[in-house]
């Protein structure tokens, strides 16, 4: 396992729609291990491969409390939301690719997700609460969507400008115009 750098706004790769995984091999398993280690170190509760600059439809999550619970990682390959409830819930979200910015986001309260596990077997589950929010957040990532796309245009433009300015100071690139 190895720590990998997490890309951040305004990196335009965050807007890529990730490609489906078709090969379940040692390389994919090693990437999942690196994603998990990177996510724990950050620290975060979810990470999509695109946040490492790798456009594969891979997500890892772990909502277990680090202090008093054993890890409970969830690995999702090619995840998709197949149903969303009409009821909504609001959670304060943050993102490892948009450090130190948090905002309330309204999303469906419950979702049903279908994915393949590390061996390629199809799985499905219904989730609510924080798990539903985290699944939607990470699946958004592999579809080129960021949580700031769910907030007001004014707040979104403000945070994009802030990160673009910081990137210019560090010699980085301009953001995607979205």
Catalytic positions are 138
- All residues at 6 or more sequence positions from 71 whose CB lies less than 8 Å from its CB, including other chains: 40, 62, 64
- Half-sphere exposure (Cβ direction) of 75: Cα atoms closer than 13 Å: 18
How many residues does the structure list for the chain? 178
Nearest alpha-carbon partner for 78 in 151, 35, 17: 17
3-state secondary structure of 130: helix
Q: Are 156 and 98 in contact (CB under 8 A)?
A: no
């Amino acid at each position: 396992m190895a720590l990998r750098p997490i890309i951040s706004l305004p990196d335009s790769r965050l807007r890529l729609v990730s490609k489906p995984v078709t090969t379940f091999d040692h390389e994919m398993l090693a990437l999942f291990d690196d994603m998990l280690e990177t996510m724990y170190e950050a620290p975060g509760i979810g990470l999509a491969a695109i946040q490492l600059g790798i456009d594969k439809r891979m997500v890892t999550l772990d909502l277990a409390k680090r202090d008093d619970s054993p890890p409970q990682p969830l690995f999702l390959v090619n995840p998709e939301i197949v149903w969303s409830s009409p009821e909504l819930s609001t959670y304060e979200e943050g993102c490892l690719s948009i450090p130190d910015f948090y905002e309330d986001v309204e999303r469906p309260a419950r979702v049903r997700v279908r994915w393949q596990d590390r061996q390629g077997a199809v799985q499905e589950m219904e989730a609510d609460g924080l798990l539903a929010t985290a699944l939607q957040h990470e699946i958004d990532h592999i579809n080129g969507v960021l949580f700031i796309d769910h907030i007001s245009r004014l707040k979104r433009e403000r945070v994009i400008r802030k990160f673009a300015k910081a990137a210019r100071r560090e010699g980085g690139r301009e953001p995607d115009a979205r």
